Amino acid sequence: MIRPWSRPVAVALTLFASANSHALPMGAHVAATVEEHGGNGVDLDFFISPTRHLTLRAGAGHATSSDASGSLAGTVLNAGLALDRERFGVSLDYDHFGDASNYQVGTLGARAWFEAGDLQFALLARKRDMAVTLRLELPRQTLSREIEFGAVGLGAQVSYFHGRFSAYGMALAYDYDDDFEEFMEIDGPRLERRPRLEALLNSFVLQTQGAIDRQAAAGCEYSLGRHALALDVSNLHDAVLDADSTSFGVTWRYVNSSRMDWGVTAGIIDGEVSDDVAFLSVMLGISN
């Protein structure tokens, strides 16, 4: 069976294998994730640096959550740019997830950072817009209603780099608008017709596409020659369930050459109100 992501992956590999030293710096990153209960996702991202200080990025992917995690399936599209100098920089990114049946979410993110010695400090800002469609199937017609709501998030990140060791910590909190209350007040028969956004808290593939009102993460990495080992932990709080989900991940990365690296991440999600979910990701990076 031909996988939906096999053709773009093959195109990416062919494109960058033919790149030469005179081309603009460019590369691609491919990642595929599977979950214990059937969720899966694939992402393909490209980047190109037309100037020394400017990097442009664009990507696409597809994500499917398991039945236990909301049964959502949709396409993810993203684009962004980053402008960096020796000690400071800014970036702007946008991504959109769309489930064809009843759920859309778009996220605009901004990041500004500066370095001081071995430390890097960053301010984070995000604007999220969500739309939920309720449908009622009748014998002669289908009635639908769309509920839109949004949130603004602010946070910070601190990173440390020294020799072969690096570490980071971040925190971000969202403030939802008044329309979110209308979504929360859905009950009775209508409750069965709305997407279970709270169930996405149990899916590594779609965790950040749910109604998250705060999140925090920390991690570290140590490199030894061509090999690197990283540990990451993150915590998300769901605004619908008022419950937490904590994920733990271990990543092994191997630098094959200056133009290629790959890695494997294995981890588990510990949900406060759900069973644990194991996940596995495989990543490949190529550049010219």
Instruction: Report if residue 270 sits inside a domain.
Output: yes
Return the pLDDT at 188: 53
Residue 18 scores a pLDDT above 70 = no
Instruction: Report if residue 267 sits inside a domain.
Output: yes
| Domain membership of residue 190 as a residue range | 6-287
Could you give the CA distance from residue 146 to residue 142 in angstroms, rounded to a whole number?
13
Instruction: Report if residue 55 sits inside a domain.
Output: yes
Return the pLDDT at 106: 95
Instruction: Report if residue 209 sits inside a domain.
Output: yes
pLDDT digits (tens, 9 = 90+) for 233-284: 999 998 888 889 999 999 999 998 889 999 999 999 988 777 788 999 999 9
Taking a C-beta distance cutoff of 8 angstroms, is the pair 146, 133 a contact? yes
Buried b (16+ CB within 10 A) or exposed e, 217-236: bbbebeeeeeebebebebeb
Which phi and psi angles does 11 have, rounded to 5°?
A: -65, -45
Residue 220 scores a pLDDT above 50 = yes
pLDDT digits (tens, 9 = 90+) for 56-109: 999 999 998 877 656 788 899 999 999 999 899 999 999 999 887 778 999 999
Residue 11 scores a pLDDT above 80 = no
Residue 35: give its domain's CATH number. Answer: 2.40.160.40
Instruction: Report if residue 172 sits inside a domain.
Output: yes
How many structural domains compose the chain? 1
Beta strands in the chain (DSSP E): 26-35, 40-48, 54-64, 73-84, 88-99, 103-116, 119-137, 142-162, 165-176, 212-224, 227-238, 243-257, 260-271, 277-287
pLDDT digits (tens, 9 = 90+) for 141-192: 766 778 899 999 999 999 999 999 999 999 999 999 988 887 787 665 555 5
Return the pLDDT at 2: 45
Return the pLDDT at 208: 79
> What is the total residue count of the chain?
288
Instruction: Report if residue 1 sits inside a domain.
Output: no
Return the pLDDT at 62: 93
Q: What average pLDDT does this structure show over 46-55?
A: 95
* 258 three-state secondary structure: coil
Reported as a pLDDT band with limits 50, 70 and 90, residue 20 is very low
Instruction: Report if residue 222 sits inside a domain.
Output: yes
Instruction: Report if residue 78 sits inside a domain.
Output: yes
Taking a C-beta distance cutoff of 8 angstroms, is the pair 233, 247 a contact? yes
Could you give the CA distance from residue 246 to residue 211 in angstroms, rounded to a whole number?
15
